[in-house]
Amino acid sequence: MSFENIPILSINVKIWKFWSVILSHTWRRYIFVGPIAIMNVLQFVFLYQKWGEVDTFILNAFYAMAIFNSLLRTVMVIFNRARFENFMTELAALYVDIEESNNQSAIETLKKATEESRKISTFNLTASFFDLIGALLYPVFSKTKVHPFGVAIPGIDVTLFPFYEIIYFMQLSFPVILTSMYMPFVSLFVSFAMFGTAALKNIQMQLRNLYSLNQSEEQMYHDLIACISYHARIMRFVEDLNSLVTYILFAEFMIYSVILCALLFCLNIIESVMQKIAVIMYIMTMLYVLFTYYWQANELLTESIKVSVAAYDVEWFHCSGRFKKTLLCFIMRTQKPLVIMLGNVYPMSLETFQSLLNASYSYFTLLREAYK
């Protein structure tokens, strides 16, 4: 089965395929990336012109950096298309192995993970789309003539007719394009992590059932070797995932730490109710995306540690020396957690997420005191 038809991946893979990010190379790729890249450059020109106007600068910096991050992700996926496709092909093979097994508990665990993943993907796309619709409506309630995504063209006053209308009309398509660019990466990371977590839970169940099935020791040893082999595949799966996303996640860690601090500071100095609502929405969106990342990565880490506990729970004391030695080696290997790293430096866990929030708040308090 092709990975684009695997239910846990299909929603987001089909979006990427439509825009020619993976699986094909068509004109849609340039329509997808080109206009957004041009607009992002013009956003940074706008930020340069607004340097010193703190509230305007910070509000527009959020979207400028979010769009830059989306472009960075998309370009990274395009350049590493073969690696991403090979990775998802391996996931598809693991997925089909579980579906075609006779283990009903494993099938139910996978089914539950798939349903949750699809719900998260649907929610992410819907929430992002309406969030961007809100951004398009912001100029309607603004007292000044502004664009939803602030841009500047050197030598041209973009607030004059017909430049303002042309740019605004062009930005009307951005909810669809930016949602398709930003959220599939987030949702696919969640799907990858949830699949890994489900696979590790299945290994735990198989280990705990080894002795309870009243099998011969030779059959138990055979099943143990099968668990070890499957765990090795999951280890490679997590290592491959880490190699694909570690540096982009580290870049997001650094970018969002600064932007979160800036938005908190902005919330304290602006007076407009509409601007306060916009800033709160930006903060909630950022916290949701970050929490989604770190929660799923933390679940993967936690379940990987539980494998060694499940292995120790096997009634090994009734078994032969060969079984005990093999099980002991497996326990030693599984005590090293499977973890997604940020730049191959920091582990993705809830502790790291808390550290990010603490750092952002600390920088915010320093900035606020300096501003006073």
pLDDT (tens digit, 9 = 90+) per residue, 245-274? 999 999 988 888 888 888 888 888 887 787
- Residue 342 pairs in a beta bridge with 346
Tens of pLDDT, residue by residue over 46-100, are 999 998 888 888 888 888 998 999 999 999 999 999 999 999 999 999 999 999 9
> What is the longest distance spanned by two Cα atoms in the chain?
85
> Mean pLDDT, to the nearest integer, of 176-180?
92
Using pLDDT thresholds of 50, 70 and 90, give the confidence band for residue 182: very high
Q: What percent of the chain has pLDDT over 70?
A: 98
Q: What is the pLDDT of residue 181?
A: 92
Q: What is the pLDDT of residue 102?
A: 83
Q: Give the domain range for residue 52.
A: 3-371
Q: What is the pLDDT of residue 268?
A: 83
H, E, C per residue of the chain: CCHHHCCCCHHHHHHHHHCCCCCCCCCHHHHHHHHHHHHHHHHHHHHHHCCCCHHHHHHHHHHHHHHHHHHHHHHHHHHCHHHHHHHHHHHHHHHHHHHCCCCHHHHHHHHHHHHHHHHHHHHHHHHHHHHHHHHHHHHHHCCCCCCCCCCCECCECCCCCCHHHHHHHHHCCHHHHHHHHHHHHHHHHHHHHHHHHHHHHHHHHHHHCCCCCCCCHHHHHHHHHHHHHHHHHHHHHHHHHHHHHHHHHHHHHHHHHHHHHHHHHHHHHCCCHHHHHHHHHHHHHHHHHHHHHHHHHHHHHHHHHHHHHHHHCCCHHHCCHHHHHHHHHHHHHHCCCCCCEECCCEECCHHHHHHHHHHHHHHHHHHHHHHC
* 213 pLDDT above the threshold of 70: no
Q: What is the pLDDT of residue 53?
A: 85
> Mean pLDDT, to the nearest integer, of 133-152?
84
* 371 pLDDT above the threshold of 90: no
Q: What is the pLDDT of residue 139?
A: 82
Q: What is the pLDDT of residue 180?
A: 94
Q: What percent of the chain has pLDDT over 90?
A: 59
Tens of pLDDT, residue by residue over 189-205, are 999 999 999 999 999 99
Pairing of strands 346-347, 341-342: antiparallel
Structural domains counted in the chain: 1
Using pLDDT thresholds of 50, 70 and 90, give the confidence band for residue 140: confident
Q: Which residues contact 358 (CB under 8 A, 6 or more apart)?
A: none
Return the exposure string of 272-291: e unless at least 16 CB atoms fall within 10 Å of the residue's CB, then b: eeebeebbeebbebbeebbe
Q: What is the pLDDT of residue 212?
A: 65
Q: What is the pLDDT of residue 98?
A: 92
**96-105, 231-240, 339-348: which range is least confident on average?**
96-105
Using pLDDT thresholds of 50, 70 and 90, give the confidence band for residue 372: low
* Residue from 232, 239, 241 nearest 307 by CA: 232
User: Average per-residue pLDDT in the chain?
Assistant: 90
